[in-house]
Amino acid sequence: MKKIQFLFVALSLLFTACNNNSKSAEMADFADDQTFKDAHETPRAANGEGAGEMIEIPLGDNQKAGSAYALMNEGSAKYLFVIHEWWGLNDNIKEESERLFNELEGVNVLALDLYDGNVATNPDEAGSFMQAVKEERAKAIVAGALKMAGPDAKIASIGWCFGGGWSLKTSIMASDQGIGCVMYYGMPVQRADELAPIKADILGIFAKQDAWITPEVATAFENLAKATGKNIEIHQFDANHAFANPSSEAYNDVVAQEANALALKFLSERFQ
């Protein structure tokens, strides 16, 4: 009887999700929320020194090229796409990219710039840049990076906040090439048809004290993913939004280290 009840609930969720034609919530919806801005103080400066380099991502069709902060392993078909927070591709994201490059053996790391060079220095700028992102343009940059990686590449993605949602979208676009998606407290998709193309396993890292990407949002996404047959693992930590950003006032070192260890283990296993 319990199995029948579970199947009924799952099928009901799937039917509801598939037939929900409303627009999914996005991180940009919070850009004008003053409490959200107040929770994102200007990030502390990083050292700005690194081993990577900025590269162009050809997009074709007379489109302006995209860009990424690249750390490459010659001859490797393993790629990790890193997606920045609402601040843009700043030194903090470059440092996180370098950390992951050093910890993941033989993996190319591309930190994609979905803001086309804009980097915010205060919450008002960050909100404006996030709201200005056009879905078509951001997807073109992701598609260009996927094409550059090549059809034989194994693709994983990771991102935080704005980048958490775009990590999920990136892995959805990677389809059969996707092997793993890590999203830190980002807004997930809310419809089954949006999630359907993803083949990558999903690791969702959320914060119980997050007033925007709430525990209810995380749980609903987990239920949707399971109901649609996706492989998902969700962890909710007793911390605030942005707890894993070492340049943020919300940074929680103990929790961040635990979450980062989970993410590293998850990615390492899938790149083996």
**pLDDT of the chain, 272 residues: tens digit per residue:** 444 334 433 443 443 444 444 456 787 888 888 888 777 877 776 665 678 999 999 998 889 999 999 999 999 999 999 999 999 999 999 999 999 999 999 999 999 999 999 999 999 999 999 999 999 999 999 999 999 999 999 999 999 999 999 999 999 999 999 999 999 999 999 999 999 999 999 999 999 999 999 999 999 999 999 999 999 999 999 999 999 999 999 999 999 999 999 999 999 999 99
What is the structure's pLDDT at 106? Answer: 97
Rounded to an integer, what distance in angstroms lies between the CA atom of residue 26 and that of residue 165? Answer: 8
CATH code for the domain in which residue 44 is found: 3.40.50.1820
pTM over 0.75: yes
Q: Which domain holds residue 74?
A: 2-271
What is the structure's pLDDT at 28? Answer: 83
Which amino acid type is present at position 22? S
Contacts with 254 (C-beta within 8 Å, 6 or more apart), sequence order: none
Structural domains counted in the chain: 1
236-267: b or e for each residue (b if 16 or more CB lie within 10 Å)? bbebbbbbbbebbebbbeebbebbbebbbebb
Cα 190 to its chain centre, rounded Å, is 15
